[in-house]
Structure formats: structure tokens, C-alpha cells
Amino acid sequence: MSHLKNTFDNGTIKLKNRLVMPPMATAKAADDGKISREVLDYYDEKSKGGYISLIIIEHSYISEDGKASLKQLSVADDSCIEGLKELADTIHNNGSKAVMQLNHAGSLSRKEVTLNTVGPSAVINPRKLNDTVPRELTKEEIKEIVEQFRAAAIRVKEAGFDGVEIHSAHGYLLNQFLSPLTNKRTDEYGSDIYGRIKLHLEVIKAVREAVGDFPVLIRIGASDYAEGGTSMEDLRIAAKSFEKAGVDMIDISGGMCGFILPDNKEQGYFSELSEAVKNVVNVPVILTGGITEAAAAEKLLTENKADLIGVGRAILADSDWARNAIVNIL
């Protein structure tokens, strides 16, 4: 029996198989961040047949100041809820489950969307998508961001999604707090790993209290793959702390390196990181990264590198990928 076809049910999250479509920005939203016909058609096409058990919707901004780029989806105010309901219904009608990913871009905000570029510290983002030196956030502003995550999570639940994912990968704001490359603070939100995850724990607590038993996921930028970046020990401590704080699933990806490893063509190139997390937590772990063949996904599951496999760019390129994988794999 195929591991990829196996159902998953840990009492909190129930899935028909182990295939996940990870969040991938489409830039198809309306100018104000609302759900457009283009967005609905895109997710309708990807979820047709329900072969993907879980679709994680692309990163969506929790506030105007946290917006990353033009035509990004918004969860920043209640006027978004109606369109989000339509999106959730579209995916559910096709037989897949859907989770919304919440994000604040921090120092990765493009100049064309905000001039108020902020971060944990006044450090240019190593991903160099812009050359802006961010303004260091005050403690009062950090509290406001926690509240924005909480309010956004309530909207996602109200819109009928199956869960919410907190984005702390790919060099965005929470990842900036996690990484010693961008977090140079000397207050309680900086220095060691416990300080660098304080904001994460506050966000998880606020979201959990607001949504009750609604599934809460977190995507971790598990390594920066850079000297002085996040260490494997940091990752283990963070993962265990997030589980203890109430996270239901951990989604592994890259940190300041982004979502790819240019020198690594291996399918599942973050598997060393997902395996390390899987060894220290009891919640399910998602692995994404360069997986283009069902056989490779099957092998990673067989080797216990993760509980669920995210296939991104292959599904982006071919909307029949999931059907072919699930139908044809033994």
C-alpha cells in the first residue's frame, strides 16, 4: 500500500492522503487584496478531483504595513471574509481541505506597497529583494502585530477554512525574529533562541485563544544555510516550544535562503531538517522542497522524513500532477 495514499488522522487533523499543496504566491488578487475571479479559478483548477488532501493558500497579509507585494491576498480586515468564504467553498466542493497562511512581510515589503518598512532590527534583509534598511519595531508595535495575527485568524475561521498557518519562513517578519542574521535585539525579543521565538509564542498563544480547537499550523524557516544563521539546535528548541504552545502541525521550509537551495537538486532537500523536527515533536510534520516525482514523495514518507509531503512547483506547472500521482502510484 502506498504511503502517499495513506489517510492521516491524529484526532485534530484528518486528511484523505499525505499530499499537500504548499503556499505559493500567485499575484492574482484584486488590487485591494480581495479574492478575485482569477484566484477562484486558479484554486478550483488545482483542487479538482480532491486528489490533494490539503491546500495551504498563499501568504496573505495581516495588515497594510505587513503587505509584501502588489496583488497579494489580504486577511487584514473583515471586508475580506465574504471572498474568503467563496474560496474555502470552492476548494471544499472539489474534495480538498484548505488552510490560510497568515504573514507579515517585515523588511521584505516591496517599496511599491509600503514606505513603512519594519523589522526586529535595522538590518537589510539577507534575501536582498530590496535594499531598504528597516526601522526597528517598538514593543508597542510588536503587541499590535500579535493582535493583527489574532484578528486575521478569527477571519479565517469565520470564512470556513480548515485551519490557519502562521508564516515564519522565507525571510518574512517572524522568520526575521527567529534568525540571528536579522535579529540583533538586546531586549527580551532578541539574543538567544528563547528571546528570538518570544514573538512566535505570543502569536501562537493569541491565535490559539481566539480560535479554540481550530487547527493552527506554523511554517518554520528551519535553516538559513548561512554562517551565523539559525542552527539545528535552535530549530529543535523552536519546534518543541511551538508544539508546547499549541501548534497542531509544523511545516518545514527554508529561512533566509528562501524556498530553494540553489546548489541542491535532491528531491526533498529540506529532509534533514524535517527529520530532526520529527524526532523531537509528536505533531505531524510537512516536508516541501524540490519534490517532482511521486516515487520521491513515497520514499521520503517510507524513510520517515515527514508525515506529509508538499509538492509545489510541479503542481503549479501541471494541474494533473496530483491525480496522476495518486492514481498511478502502487
CA distances from 49 to 56, 118, 198, 320 (A): 17, 42, 41, 10
C-alpha cell at 315: 503542481
| 172 classed as catalytic | yes
- 107 DSSP assignment: G
SS3 (DSSP) at 309 = strand
- Closest-CA residue to 207 (of 153, 143, 270): 153
CB burial of residue 182 (10 Å; 0-12, 13-18, 19+): buried
14: CB partners within 8 A, 6+ apart: 7, 8
SS3 (DSSP) at 272 = helix
CA distances from 136 to 106, 177, 193 (A): 10, 11, 19
Number of helices followed by number of strands (H, E) in the chain: 11, 12
Termini Cα distance of the chain: 7
Q: Which of 42, 43, 61, 172 is catalytic?
A: 172
Q: Is the dihedral of CA 174, 178, 180, 184 positive or negative?
A: positive
Query: Which are the catalytic amino acids?
Result: 172
